[in-house]
């Protein structure tokens, strides 16, 4: 061991070398930030009293060895200048700060905390943009593509990549567990993510496909495959103007509005796969009950008509059966107060769901019988082969 710096009174969560390589910045749960001189092993800067809670995030400027930034669970972000020994900028993230990082220019600071990622102009000390694509806490940040892309990790199991110039989402990677840490290789080909289940996930980008004009045309004609509990639903790729309305509502967690936008005749009965896609997304987000509750008689009748019409379609039945069960659970108690049309549709839907369940059980039983017959045919020898064997034995005797 080369050096040991003692001075903090609680756990130290972040440490960084400053740009000149002669100092180390440390951020601690004792609510202090320290700058250490490596050669003398002494504190060259100590900042105390600027945070009221644990300091779990920090970074150093990529262009100046004097600038250090800290972020605490008190929601405050403070920028310190070692030349003046004071705070040069203080902003409120409005959520406990989990991670901080500078863009290579040093003029923009990115903070992550709560469900938001915020971009700050450190020269003006003002907020430039918010990235609100996550619905659980954003835990980690890093940069990619030589600082032209922002990579975020979240407890909602998503790793998202944003374009720095537009702050628009460009890629979204889903992991099996909540993501706590993230990094990407210098050549941008490999992403490594640490998850809450103790697993380090390494994902390599597929570079075998060349992005030429022919591949782009083929991609435009291709279909996006959406996995839905073991059933593959083929959903044609939509243009941005077609999907922007309900997609925007989903991103803002306006689940009822998102469902309203696809429960119109032009979409539901001409492009039912889009409506089912939204149902599937609502199920994944646990927002289905919120979306279908509180509907008037006309809206409920339209919804029931859609389910009754398409619940028998094999590719859509898995999702729509779940939706049908949820609708019955939500509205069965108020059955007596519904209109005659809605009562008739609820009764019909109840019958259809029972028939689908019964049909599924029968198909499973038939499947079991077929498998037994196949196994039996493999075990029992063929009759002609048995006869040939008996004839050979007779000849030998």
CA distance 384 to 208: 53
First to last CA, the chain: 88
Cα–Cα distance, 216 to 253 (Å, whole number): 32
Ranges 96-100, 270-274, 324-328, 353-357: which has the least confidence: 353-357
Q: What is the mean pLDDT of residues 66-94?
A: 90
Q: Calculate mean pLDDT across residues 264-282.
A: 83
Calculate mean pLDDT across residues 128-133.
88
Confidence of residue 382 (pLDDT cuts 50, 70, 90): low
Per the CB < 8 A criterion, the answer to whether 171 and 160 are in contact is: yes
Give the closest residue to 286 by CA, choosing from 114, 93, 145, 156: 156
CA distances from 133 to 123, 158, 269 (A): 26, 10, 30
Structural domains of the chain ordered from first start: 12-202 (2.130.10.10), 245-379 (1.25.40)
Cα 318 to Cα 183, 228, 283, 304, 357: the distances in Å are: 37, 8, 12, 16, 11
In sequence order, the 6+-apart residues with CB closer than 8 A to the CB of 172 are 133, 158, 159, 160, 161
pLDDT at position 391 over 80 = no
User: Quick check: 240 pLDDT over 60?
Assistant: no
- State mean pLDDT over 64-84: 90
Q: Say if residues 68 and 58 touch (Cβ distance below 8 Å).
A: yes
Q: 76-85, 179-188, 346-355: which range is least confident on average?
A: 346-355
Element (H, E) at 250: helix 240-251
Short-list 70, 95, 87, 85, CA closest to 13: 70
Q: Give the C-alpha separation, 18 to 38, whole Å.
A: 11
Provide long-range contacts, Cβ within 8 A and 24+ apart, for 103-106.
103/143, 103/147, 103/164, 104/62, 104/143, 104/146, 104/147, 105/62, 105/63, 105/147, 106/61, 106/62, 106/63, 106/64, 106/67
CA distances from 249 to 85, 155, 254 (A): 46, 21, 5
Distance CA 221, CA 339 (A): 45
Mean pLDDT of the chain: 81
Distance CA 167, CA 359 (A): 50
Q: How far apart are CA 197 and CA 220, in angstroms?
A: 37
What pLDDT is stored for residue 280 in this prediction? 86
Higher pLDDT, 326 or 111: 111
Rounded-to-integer distance, Cα 344 and Cα 301, Å? 10
Q: What percent of the chain has pLDDT over 70?
A: 84
Note the pTM of the prediction, 2 decimals. 0.52
Using CB atoms within 10 A of its CB, is residue 212 exposed (0-12), middle (13-18) or buried (19+)? exposed
Q: Is 201 helix (H, G, I), strand (E, B) or coil?
A: strand
For the range 153-157, what are the long-range contacts, defined as Cβ-Cβ under 8 Å and sequence gap of 24 or more?
153/179, 153/180, 153/181, 153/182, 153/193, 154/115, 154/178, 154/179, 155/179, 155/196
pLDDT above 80 for 233: no
pLDDT at 378: 62
């Amino acid at each position: 061991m080369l050096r040991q710096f003692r001075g903090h009174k609680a756990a130290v969560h972040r440490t960084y070398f400053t740009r000149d390589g002669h100092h180390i910045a440390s951020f601690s749960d004792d609510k202090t930030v320290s700058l250490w001189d490596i050669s003398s092993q002494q504190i060259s800067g100590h900042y105390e009293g600027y945070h009221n809670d644990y300091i779990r995030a920090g970074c150093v400027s990529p262009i100046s060895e004097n600038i250090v930034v800290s972020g605490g669970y008190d929601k405050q972000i403070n920028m310190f200048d070692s030349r003046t020994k004071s705070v040069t900028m203080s902003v409120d993230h409005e959520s406990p700060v989990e991670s901080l990082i500078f863009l290579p220019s040093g003029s923009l600071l990115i903070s992550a905390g709560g469900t938001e990622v915020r971009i700050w102009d450190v020269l003006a000390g003002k907020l430039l943009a918010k990235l609100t694509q996550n619905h659980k806490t954003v835990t980690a940040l890093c940069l990619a593509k030589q600082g032209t892309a922002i990579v975020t990790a979240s407890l909602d199991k998503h790793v998202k990549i944003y374009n720095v110039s537009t702050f628009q989402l460009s890629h979204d990677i889903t992991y099996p567990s909540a993501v706590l840490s993230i990094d990407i290789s210098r050549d941008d080909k490999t992403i490594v993510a640490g998850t809450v289940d103790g697993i380090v996930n390494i994902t390599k980008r597929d570079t075998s496909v060349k992005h030429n004009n022919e591949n782009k045309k083929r991609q435009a004609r291709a279909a996006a495959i959406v996995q839905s509990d073991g059933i593959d639903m083929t959903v044609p790729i939509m243009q941005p103007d077609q999907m922007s309305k309900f997609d925007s509502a989903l991103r803002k967690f306006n689940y009822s509005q998102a469902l309203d936008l696809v429960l119109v005749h032009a979409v539901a009965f001409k492009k039912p796969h889009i409506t089912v896609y939204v149902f599937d997304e609502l199920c994944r987000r646990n927002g289905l009950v919120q979306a279908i509750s509180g509907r008037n008689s006309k809206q409920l009748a339209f919804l029931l008509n859609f389910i009754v019409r398409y619940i028998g379609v094999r590719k859509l039945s898995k999702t729509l059966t779940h939706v049908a069960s949820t609708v019955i659970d939500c509205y069965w108690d108020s059955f007596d107060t519904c209109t005659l049309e809605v009562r008739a549709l609820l009764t019909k839907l109840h019958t259809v769901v029972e028939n689908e369940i019964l049909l599924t059980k029968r198909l499973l039983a038939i499947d079991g019988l077929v498998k037994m017959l196949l196994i039996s045919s493999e075990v029992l020898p063929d009759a002609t082969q048995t006869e040939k064997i008996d004839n050979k034995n007779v000849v030998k005797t």
